[in-house]
Structure 1
C-alpha cells in the first residue's frame, strides 16, 4: 500500500514517465539507426564450379561455397543480422564448363546460391556481346552492375546501381558496379566493339553525388586491388569495396582512409566474409576473413545435382585418356605470367611455330589457365588448360618490331596475362632493356624480317600488343586452334618427357 502510494505522488509519476520514455526512445533509435550486416563475396571463379582434386582431398567449388553461405545466413537470421552476397566478376572462361555452356551453367548455379548482385568482369564478354546480353542477362536472377560501360551514343549498357533497405534499419545500402577500363585488351577486341569503358573513378564520383551521408555505399568492382586503392583515395564516400580481377588473397580487409577493401582470391577456393556494424551510414565496427572451402566442407546437394546433369553433355570421351605425361607440365599463373617460359609454354609455342613454319612463336601467359599433373591426360585436361578458342595466326615483323614486343612483355608487371611464353628467340635483359642474340638459331638483325606465329587474340592487339595489329605484314589466319595442336601432340602415343621437351627448344 505504501509503495503504491509513493508512486501516486505526482512528482514521482512524472519522473517515472520520463525514464520510461527515455528507454523507449533509446531502444527505438538503436533499432532504426544500427545495421548489423554480413557481406559474403566471391570473385573470379572462371567456371571452376566443381572442387579441385588435391591428392585425396577436394578443395573449392560452388557446392562447398553454398554450404558455407547457408551456414552464415542461418546464423545471421537467428541473431537478427542481415546478409548480402556479391560476385565481383569473371564468372566465365577457364574450364570446359565455360567453353561448352558459355556461362549459362554458372548463371543457373548463381541463381540457386542467392547472389544479391554481380559486377561485370572483362571475361563476361569472351563469347561476345550477344551471348552476354541475350543469352545470359535474361536468365540472371540478380542484377549485373557496371556504371562505367556505355555505348558509343553514351547510353549505359548495364544497371549502374541498386539500393537495399532492411526492416530494422533506416540505413540505405547503395551498391554500384565498376569494370576494368582495360577490357578491350583483355578480351578479344571484337567482343566489345561499339562499347566505351570509362574511367572507373569518374563514374564512381558521378554515382556518389546522389548518395547521402547516412547511406552505406558499396562499390562492387572488377578493376583490381591497386585500382581499388586509388578508387578509395579518390572517392572517400565509398564505405566498402568488394573487388576482383587481380585474384588477390586478402585475409583481412585492406583499409584506405575509412574505406574497407576486400577480395577473395579466385577459382572458387574461398568465400569472403565481412561483418559490419553500421550506424548513421558509418562503419563503426568490422571483422573480415576468407573462409577456405576445404575437404571438411560438404557440397550442397542441389548444386551437385545441377552440375552432374550438365556433365552428362561431356560424355565419357572427354574423360578418356589420350596420352600421358611423365613429368608435371607447369601452367600455373605464377609461372606462365612471368619472364620465364615453362615446359608447358615451350610445348605450346613450339607447336605453333612448327605448324605455321615460322621463326618464332609467342603465346600470352593469360591464355594458359592450368597445369597438367604427371599421369594420364584427357581432353578435359586440355580444354581446362586452353579454354579459349584461339586460332593460329602467321605474320611478319621486323627485328626491331620483334624486340619491341619482347620489351613490352618484360615491362609488364609479374602476374599480367600479357607476359609471353616464347619459342625461337635467345635474348637477355640488362638494365631493363631487351637484347636479342639470335632468332631461329641465327644471329639477330634489327633490320631483318622474321615470321611469327601468334594467336588471333594477340593479332588483334590483345593485351596491348598494338604492334601486331598495326605493323604485322603478310598475315595469314589458320583455322587450327592452339588446343587442337596440343591434342594432336598428346595423342601421338609417345609420353611427354623432360628429354622430349628439351629437344623442342
Structure 2
C-alpha cells in the first residue's frame, strides 16, 4: 500500500479580528513551506465570516481587504458566511471576490431569477501530486428573509449538500464540505450523506473541536471564532484506492504561536489606513451631540427622529448602548460614524397591535436590561444600555401614548426598532409578528442620511 499524506488547514469566523492575523499568516506560511519541502500536499480553506463590518478596515474596503489577505496567503477555496452574504449590498458582494484567485464554493445562493452569481461555483476540484482528486462543496446558513430582502434566493444548505455530495463523490476520491451551517446541521449532514462526505469543515456557531468529531465515517473539524484557533486535518490516503486509512484533527491556539514582527502593529496600521479612506467629512455638525448609555441624550433624540423618519414608524424604541460615544461639533466623517456605531445592525419596523405594544413597552422597562453585557445579534458595543422611547410614553393618568394620543388596543402600530430585537431574546412577541427589514443600510447610515438632510453635505 502506497500512502499519500494530505494536510488541510482551515479558518472560520475570524470576524475581522485582524489582531490575530499575523500569527495565523506566519503559522500557515511556515507549515506550507514545511509540507512543500516534504513533498506533501497542503490546502488552505476559509469557512466564512472572515469579514465583519464592525472593523473600520473591512468597512472602508467593503471586505475586499479581507479577500486580499486570503489571496496573499494562497487559500485554495472559501465559502461565505452570513457576514459576507447579508451585510453587503448585492453589488458589493459581487465585487468582494472579483480579484480573488481562489474559488468561492457555494451551492445554495442564487439571484432572484434563479441564476447562480458568477463569483460562486457549486463545486470545485483539487488534485494532489499523486493524482488523488478532492471534491469541494460549500454552503452557507439559510437567512431567508434577509437574503430575499436583498434580492437573493437562498436554498436549504443541508438538503443541497446531501443531494450534491453523492454526485461529486462519483468524480473524485475524497469529498470535503465547507459548511457555514452550524454544528447541529453538520452532524445531520454527516448522517444523511454517509459514504459520500469524508470531511466537513464547520463554522457559524463558533464551536471548537480540539480533536475533531467523528459522526459515522465523517470527520468534522471546527476552529471556533475570532482567530483564536487554526484547524488542521491530516489524512493518510491509499493512492491506489483513494481510501482514507488514517485521519487526525487538531486545533492550534493562536495565542501560543510565535509572534511575527508585525504582531502588534498589523491591526493598528489597518485602522490607520481606514481612517484615511473614510476621513472625508460627510456633513458638518452645528453643535456637539453627546450620547449616553444610562439616559436619553441629545444624540438619542436626533437618532430617534432619524430612525422614525427613515422607516415611517409611528414611534421608536431601541437601546442606548448602540452609541459608543457622541458626535462632535464640526465635520463628521464616515470614520467618525463608524466609531460611533460600528454594529452591522439594520433598522426595521415591527407591526404590533395596541395590546402587543403595551406589553412590549412594559418589558422594555426591565431594570436589569441596561447593565446586560450584550454579545452577538449584530451588537458590537459593551452594554445594552437604557431603552430609549420616542413618541412612546405613559401619560400622567397611566395611559400609553403614541405621538400624544392614547394607544388603542385593537389598532395596529408601526414600531421602529433594530433588527436585533426581532430574534425573540428580549421581546418574544417580535419573532412572530409581521416585520419589515430595511437593508442593506445600517443604523449608522440612517443617522448619516438624516444629518445630511438636516444640515446638508459637508462643504455645501
| 2:126 match | 164
1:209 aligns with 2:178: no
State how far apart, in whole Å, the 1-side matches of 2:31 and 2:178 are: 21
How is 1:109-148 mapped onto 2 (pairs within 5 angstroms)?
109-125=69-85, 126-133=87-94, 135-148=95-108
| Gaps in structure 2 of 5+ consecutive residues | 280-287, 309-313, 326-333, 365-373, 401-406, 452-460
Mapped contact 1:219–1:240 kept (Cα < 8 A): yes
How is 1:11-30 mapped onto 2 (pairs within 5 angstroms)?
29-30=1-2
Mapped contact 1:228–1:241 kept (Cα < 8 A): yes
For 1:397, what is the secondary structure of its paired residue?
strand
| 2:209 match | 250
For 1:99, what is the secondary structure of its paired residue?
helix
Report the RMSD for the aligned CA atoms in angstroms: 5.0
How is 1:16-165 mapped onto 2 (pairs within 5 angstroms)?
29-30=1-2, 34-49=3-18, 51=19, 60=20, 62-93=21-52, 94-125=54-85, 126-133=87-94, 135-157=95-117, 158-165=120-127
For 2:233, what is the secondary structure of its paired residue?
strand
1:16-43 deviations in whole A, cap 9, x for unaligned? xxxxxxxxxxxxx51xxx2311111111
Aligned pair in 2 of structure 1 residues 402, 108: CA closer, same or farther (>3 Å)? same
* Among 220, 229, 233, the residue aligned to 1:261: 220
How is 1:307-318 mapped onto 2 (pairs within 5 angstroms)?
308=269, 311-315=272-276
| 1:222 match | 180
For 1:314, what is the secondary structure of its paired residue?
helix
1:262, distance to aligned residue in structure 2 (A): 1.4
Aligned pair in 2 of structure 1 residues 323, 453: CA closer, same or farther (>3 Å)? closer
| 1:299 match | 260
| 1:182 match | 143
| Gaps in structure 1 of 5+ consecutive residues | 1-28, 52-59, 330-342, 373-378, 426-437, 488-505
Larger Rg: 1
Mapped contact 1:121–1:245 kept (Cα < 8 A): yes
Aligned pair in 2 of structure 1 residues 95, 239: CA closer, same or farther (>3 Å)? same
* Among 237, 250, 262, the residue aligned to 1:278: 237
1:390, distance to aligned residue in structure 2 (A): 5.0
1:167, distance to aligned residue in structure 2 (A): 1.7
State how far apart, in whole Å, the 1-side matches of 2:335 and 2:278 are: 9
| 1:383 match | 338
Larger deviation: 307-316 or 267-276?
307-316
Mapped contact 2:307–2:316 kept (Cα < 8 A): no
Q: How many residues align?
A: 393
State how far apart, in whole Å, the 2-side matches of 1:396 and 1:323 are: 30
| 2:352 match | 397
State how far apart, in whole Å, the 2-side matches of 1:316 and 1:160 are: 35
Mapped contact 1:391–1:480 kept (Cα < 8 A): no
State how far apart, in whole Å, the 2-side matches of 1:447 and 1:198 are: 37
| 2:377 match | 417
Mapped contact 2:23–2:263 kept (Cα < 8 A): no
For 1:124, what is the secondary structure of its paired residue?
helix
Mapped contact 1:350–1:423 kept (Cα < 8 A): no
Mapped contact 2:175–2:198 kept (Cα < 8 A): yes
1:65, distance to aligned residue in structure 2 (A): 0.7
Mapped contact 2:419–2:437 kept (Cα < 8 A): no
For 2:68, what is the secondary structure of its paired residue?
helix
Aligned pair in 2 of structure 1 residues 467, 45: CA closer, same or farther (>3 Å)? same
Mapped contact 1:119–1:222 kept (Cα < 8 A): yes
1:200, distance to aligned residue in structure 2 (A): 2.9
Aligned pair in 2 of structure 1 residues 360, 129: CA closer, same or farther (>3 Å)? closer
Mapped contact 1:386–1:483 kept (Cα < 8 A): no
For 2:137, what is the secondary structure of its paired residue?
strand
State how far apart, in whole Å, the 2-side matches of 1:45 and 1:225 are: 17
1:281, distance to aligned residue in structure 2 (A): 3.5
State how far apart, in whole Å, the 1-side matches of 2:269 and 2:227 are: 18
For 2:231, what is the secondary structure of its paired residue?
strand
State how far apart, in whole Å, the 1-side matches of 2:221 and 2:262 are: 29
1:148-198 deviations in whole A, cap 9, x for unaligned? 223344333320111111123x4211111111122543x6x533x142324
1:392, distance to aligned residue in structure 2 (A): 5.5
State how far apart, in whole Å, the 1-side matches of 2:154 and 2:108 are: 8
| 2:415 match | 452
